[in-house]
A and B are shown apart, each in its own frame.
Chain A
Amino acid sequence: MGTIYLIASLGEVYAERSGVLNLGLEGMMIMGAAISFIFTIAYGHLVAILMAALIGVLMSLILAVMAIHLRLNQVIVGLALTLLGLGLSGLITFPDIRRRILSSLNPSLPESMLMIQQAEKLPEIPIPLLSQIPLIGKTFFTHNILVYTSLILAIIMWFILFKTRYGLIIRSVGENPSMADSLGVNVFLVRYVTVVISGLFASLAGAYFFIGFHPFWREGVTAGRGFISLALVILATWNPLRAILGAYLFGGVETFQYRLQLFGLGAQSPYFLAMLPYIITIITLILISIESIRKRIGVPASLGTPYSREEA
Chain B
Amino acid sequence: MDERSLNKKLSRRDFLGITKTAAIGGVVAAGVIGGVAGYVAGTGAAPAPLTVTKTTTEVKEVTRTVPEPVKPLKVGYIYVGPIGDYGWSYGHDRGRRWADERFGKPVESIYMESVPEAEVGGAITSLIEKGVDLVFTTSFGYMDPTAEAAAKYPDKHFVHISGYRSGAAGNAPENMSAAFAEFYQLYYLNGLAAGAVTETGVVGYVGAYPIPEVVRHINAFVLGANYAYKKRTGKNIKAHVSWIFEWVAPEKARAAAIALVEEKNCDVLAFTEDTPAVLQVAEEYQKKGRRVWSFSHYSDMKEYGPTAHLTGQIANWGPIYLEFYRMVATNSWQSVDIWTRIGDYMPWRWRLPEEKSTAGKPEGTVYLAPLNPVIPSEWQREIKRRYEEMKELLFEPFSVEGNLGEPIRDQDGEVRIKVGERADHDMLWSMDWHVEYIEERLPR
Contact = CB atoms under 8 A, between A and B. Distances in A.
A83 B19 CA distance: 13
Interface stretch (A190-198, A211-219, A280-288): A211-219
Interface string B43-75: 000000000000000000000000000000000
B259 A259 contact: yes
Interface stretch (B102-110, B247-255, B349-357, B410-418): B247-255
B57 to A, nearest CB: 22
A213 B443 contact: no
A268 interface: yes
A205 to B, nearest CB: 14
A302 interface: no
A262 B263 contact: yes
A120 B38 CA distance: 40
B25 to A, nearest CB: 11
Interface string B166-188: 00000000000000000000000
B240 A270 contact: no
A93 interface: yes
Interface size class, chain A: 35 or more
Given A87-B16, A218-B82, A259 B263 contact: yes
A258 B82 CA distance: 26
Contact of B275 (A218, A258, A271): A218
A91 B84 contact: no
Interface stretch (A54-62, A110-118, A166-174, A238-246): A110-118
A255 to B, nearest CB: 4
Contacts of A118: 276, 280, 304
Interface string B406-444: 000000000000000000000000000000000011011
A95 interface: yes
Nearest to A93: B84
Interface string B237-261: 0001011110011111011101110
Contact of B16 (A90, A112, A259): A90
A218 B248 contact: yes
Interface string A1-14: 10000000000000
A254 interface: yes
B264 interface: yes
Interface string B271-283: 0000111001000
Contacts of A96: 23-24, 27
A264 B263 CA distance: 13
Interface string A250-266: 00001100110111100
B9 interface: no
A121 B288 CA distance: 13
B392 interface: no
Given A261-B440, A262-B263, A214 B254 contact: yes
A254 B372 CA distance: 33
A87 B276 contact: no
B20 interface: yes
A214 B250 contact: yes
A208 B186 CA distance: 36
A214 B251 contact: yes
Given A214-B277, A216-B275, A268-B443, A258 B23 contact: no
Given A254-B255, A262-B240, A87 B12 contact: yes
A218 B85 contact: yes
Given A87-B16, A267-B443, A117 B86 contact: yes
B148 interface: no
Nearest to A225: B251
Interface in A1-33: 1
Contacts of A117: 84, 86
Nearest to A115: B303
Nearest to A254: B255
B contacts with A: majority SS: helix
A117 B301 CA distance: 11
B263 A270 contact: no
B440 A219 contact: no
A135 to B, nearest CB: 12
A270 B243 contact: yes
Interface in B335-370: none
A93 to B, nearest CB: 7
A261 B441 CA distance: 10
A166 to B, nearest CB: 36
A223 interface: yes
A165 to B, nearest CB: 41
B117 interface: no
Given A117-B86, A262-B264, A270-B245, A215 B444 contact: no
A258 B86 contact: no
A115 to B, nearest CB: 10
Given A93-B84, A216-B276, A262 B242 contact: yes
Nearest to B254: A214
A83 B255 contact: no
Contacts of B276: 118, 216
B15 interface: yes
B284 interface: yes
A179 B440 CA distance: 62
Given A91-B16, A118-B280, A213 B251 contact: yes
B232 to A, nearest CB: 25
B280 A215 contact: yes
Contacts of B255: 1, 254-255, 258
A219 B250 contact: no
Contacts of A121: 284
Interface of B: 12, 15-16, 19-20, 23-24, 27, 82, 84-86, 240, 242-245, 248-252, 254-256, 258-260, 262-264, 275-277, 280, 284, 303-304, 440-441, 443-444
Given A219-B84, A264-B440, 18 more contacts: A1-B251, A87-B16, A90-B16, A213-B251, A214-B254, A216-B277, A218-B82, A218-B85, A223-B251, A254-B255, A258-B242, A258-B258, A258-B259, A261-B259, A262-B240, A262-B264, A268-B443, A270-B243
6 contacts: A94-B20, A214-B277, A219-B85, A258-B256, A261-B243, A262-B240
